[in-house]
Amino acid sequence: MDILIAGVGGQGIILASRALASAAVKAGLPVRTAETIGMAQREGSVVSHVRLGLAEGGPLIPLGSADVLLALEPAEACRNLKYLRPGGKALVSTSPIIPVLAALGSTPYPLEDILTYLRRNVPACYSFDALDLAVKAGSPRALNIVMLGALANLGLPFPAELLLNEALNLLPPRVHDINRRAFALGRRALEV
């Protein structure tokens, strides 16, 4: 199962990919991962490739072959749609991270156009406001865990509880309760 995680710096994409990889290893599956980080410190694009159950082959998901696009930001979902295979699933957080030029009014950020484009071009596109759920869980920083909770409903090759436990192992104990709530809210948001 190939999962491409896309978003911008500061959204916890690397932690999400490491939790997925760790859960796969605990489940006895081979796994390969790779990351492109770029200007992550300045809200630049971040992409993580996670290949579960792949015994041979490289860590990068070829264009047009990802089973799931897990997008933590709508524009990044569009930017990385080329990785999704026909019939693949896109799981998209609808909360935008407005780029500086758009915030200054120099360029538009057409959120509704972006979401409409995704829904029209990906038959299995699931979208919801993961940031709102993260805030309800106790912290906007738990957005990545909300998305992992939703992803757990899309047929991962290991139990959801294993994924949650591996994510918690990467986080300090003081935020475990928040992230447990975030994971549960994500699972409820995407009951397919």
User: What global pTM score does this model have?
Assistant: 0.93
78 and 46 in contact (C-beta within 8 Å)?
Answer: no
pLDDT at res. 89: 97
Instruction: List, in sequence order, the alpha helices (H) in the chain.
Output: 13-26, 74-79, 100-103, 111-121, 130-137, 143-151, 160-169, 176-189
Residue 191 confidence class, pLDDT cut points 50, 70, 90: confident
Q: Is the pLDDT of residue 40 over 70?
A: no
Q: Is the pLDDT of residue 24 over 80?
A: yes
pLDDT at res. 41: 62
Query: Measured between alpha carbons, how far is 178 from 166 in angstroms, rounded to an integer?
Result: 15
Q: What mean pLDDT comes out for the span 33-43? A: 75
pLDDT at res. 55: 80
Residue 135 confidence class, pLDDT cut points 50, 70, 90: very high
User: Which domains, and CATH codes, for the chain?
Assistant: 2-97+109-189 (3.40.920.10)
Query: Measured between alpha carbons, how far is 71 from 151 in angstroms, rounded to an integer?
Result: 11
Take residue 117 and report the two structure tokens written for it.
């484009």
19 and 52 in contact (C-beta within 8 Å)?
Answer: no
**β partners of residue 2:** 51
Q: Is the pLDDT of residue 31 over 80?
A: yes
Q: Is the pLDDT of residue 140 over 80?
A: yes
pLDDT at res. 57: 87
Q: Is the pLDDT of residue 128 over 80?
A: yes
pLDDT tens by residue, 69-124: 999 999 999 999 999 999 999 999 999 998 888 888 888 999 999 999 999 999 99
